[in-house]
Amino acid sequence: MASRAEQKAAAKAEREALEQAHAAAARRARLVRLGGGLGVAVVVVIALIIISSSGGGGKKTSAAPSNVTATAVTATLVGIPQTATTLGSSTAPVTVTEWGDLECPICADFAQNAENNLISSDVRSGRVKLVYRSLQTATQDPGIFVTQQAAAYAAGAQARAWNFIELFYNEQGAEDSGYVTASYLDGLAKQIPGLNYAKWLSASTLSTYSNGVTADEQDAAKAGFNSTPTIVVVGPKGSAQPITGAVDYATLEQAIQSVSAAGSAKS
């Protein structure tokens, strides 16, 4: 059996390959659009500029706060009940649990696509509740991992955990760049409408939340989870097979339907 370090190294290689593939696809799409109205020489020049500016790897190079992002996250979540790290109605018949690492770029891909659709459709309608739990994969420093995850949990004390989680995913910096600092976490918290910053700052240092992160890690180890995101879907008809990676919404919906009671199909 591979060691935890070997598993993390393999997961990182997988993430980087996925990021590079996404970046290459985006570059090809841009060039196709440009090619319709530009000469070959111009296209080549633009391609070189794109590749040079991206460093060839397609990674994000900054994590600057974005009011547009904050507005979009707020619009996605407004009106949906939150309790601790649970988003959605407590009576929702299906529970979808995301085991994630806030620095994981594949988690960000999942959050910005399938998970956004899940929230807008199934969670908002009361069919599904969404739970977040922590599993360290992309974050290199265990101390930073606990700090950043506990910061999200502390926002949950004010029913804003998912605002913090979604903002973090949308404003990730480059992996292994050390962008997660106290200033970065503060910047996220200050963008969240209705969050009392002073209360959040005090709560983020409480052992209640760091212990919660540690407990999540222990539960993940017992379950044999070692990659993020790992998605667990549970409903009236039992549990679906855990799903890993940035799955699409259709795959997620199939898992939800497989555990839903008869007559509760999405209309």
Position 48 in a domain: yes
Do 123 and 29 have their domain in common? no
Position 265 in a domain: no
Closest CA to 237 of 252, 223, 257, 253: 257
Do 149 and 206 have their domain in common? yes
Give dist(CA 188, CA 166) in Å, integer.
10
CB 148 within 8 A of CB 103: yes
pLDDT-derived band of residue 6, with 50, 70 and 90 as boundaries?
A: low
Position 16 in a domain: yes
pLDDT tens, 19-66? 554 444 433 433 333 344 434 333 333 332 332 333 333 445 445 455
Question: In Å, how far are 157, 211, 233 from 128, measured between CA atoms?
Answer: 21, 27, 10
Do 145 and 24 have their domain in common? no
CB 130 within 8 A of CB 88: yes
Q: Please report, rounded to a whole number, the percentage of residues in the chain having pLDDT higher than 70.
A: 73
Position 264 in a domain: no
Report which DSSP code applies to 240: P
Do 25 and 148 have their domain in common? no
CATH number of the domain enclosing 255? 3.40.30.10
Give dist(CA 208, CA 150) in Å, integer.
9
Do 33 and 77 have their domain in common? no
Torsion of CA 30, 32, 33, 37, to 10 degrees: 130
Average pLDDT over residues 64-84: 86
Do 117 and 238 have their domain in common? yes
Q: Which amino acid is at 1?
A: M
Q: Which amino acid is at 147?
A: T
Do 92 and 13 have their domain in common? no
- What domain range is 235 assigned to? 67-259
Do 119 and 164 have their domain in common? yes
pLDDT-derived band of residue 262, with 50, 70 and 90 as boundaries?
A: confident
Position 62 in a domain: no
Do 73 and 50 have their domain in common? no
Do 248 and 132 have their domain in common? yes
Average pLDDT over residues 79-86: 98
Do 85 and 24 have their domain in common? no
Position 223 in a domain: yes
Give dist(CA 97, CA 119) in Å, integer.
13
Do 110 and 131 have their domain in common? yes
pLDDT-derived band of residue 69, with 50, 70 and 90 as boundaries?
A: confident
Pairing of strands 230-235, 86-87: unpaired
Peptide bond into 65 cis (omega under 30): no
Element holding 199 (H helix, E strand)? helix 197-203
N residues, the chain: 267
Torsion of CA 28, 69, 142, 100, to 10 degrees: -70
Question: What token pair was written down for 58?
Answer: 């397609």
pLDDT-derived band of residue 243, with 50, 70 and 90 as boundaries?
A: very high
Position 239 in a domain: yes
Q: Which amino acid is at 189?
A: A
Mean of per-residue pLDDT scores for the chain: 82
Q: How many domains does the chain have?
A: 2
Helices 161-170, 67-77: crossing angle, 10 deg rounding: 140
Position 60 in a domain: no
Element holding 24 (H helix, E strand)? helix 4-35
- Pick left, alpha or beta for residue 59 (phi over 0 → left; psi -120 to 50 → alpha; otherwise beta): beta
